[in-house]
Amino acid sequence: MFCRNCGNELFQGASVCTKCGAQVGAGGNYCPNCGQQSDPLAVVCVKCGYQLSGQPVAAAPGTEQKSKMVAGLLGILLGWTGAHNFYLGFTGKAVAQLLISVLSCFILSPVSAIWGIIEGIFILTGKTTADAKGVPLKDN
């Protein structure tokens, strides 16, 4: 468990953080499950998919949920292009996958393809549960 205020790892059964002194559960800048810095308005942790709010996981008003099926299939079929990462908003990873393939004259495209297949499987099996903005993926 990690402090929501500073991201420090907490001891089992702790009631306050030894680093910042905040009450356990106070704050909202870090994921209590993995310690990753998070947007205070995010519903789920982008890194581990942990539900950050006490409310059921749902998209915030005005945000569109991306399809888990579309993202997973893009990863499996077009992973070498980074299409699934472009779709989910992870543009840095997407550009890296595309450049690995194109700049190597497609010699290294199998590397990007395997990377995409693994990420596609993670998306379809629920290990990746949110897009780059922290909006949960919908199941259809």
pLDDT in tens, the chain (140 residues): 888 889 888 888 888 888 888 888 788 888 888 888 888 777 788 888 788 775 444 555 567 899 999 999 999 999 999 999 999 999 999 999 999 999 999 999 999 999 999 999 999 999 998 998 888 899 87
b (16+ CB within 10 A) / e for 92-118: ebbeebbebbeeeeeeebeebbebbee
The reply to whether the predicted model has a pTM over 0.85 is no
Q: List alpha helices for 1-140, DSSP H.
A: 68-78, 83-88, 91-103, 109-125
Q: What is the pLDDT of residue 125?
A: 94
- Given 57, 78, 104, the domain boundary residue is 57
- 52 and 80 in a single domain? The answer is no
Is residue 140 in some structural domain?
no
- 38 and 75 in a single domain? The answer is no
Three-state DSSP class for residue 85: helix
Q: What is the pLDDT of residue 40?
A: 78
Domain count, the chain: 2
Is residue 134 in some structural domain?
no
Query: What does the alpha-carbon distance between residue 51 and residue 30 come to, in Å, rounded to a whole number?
Result: 12
Domain that holds residue 23: 1-57
Is residue 137 in some structural domain?
no
- 14 and 51 in a single domain? The answer is yes
Q: What is the pLDDT of residue 56?
A: 46
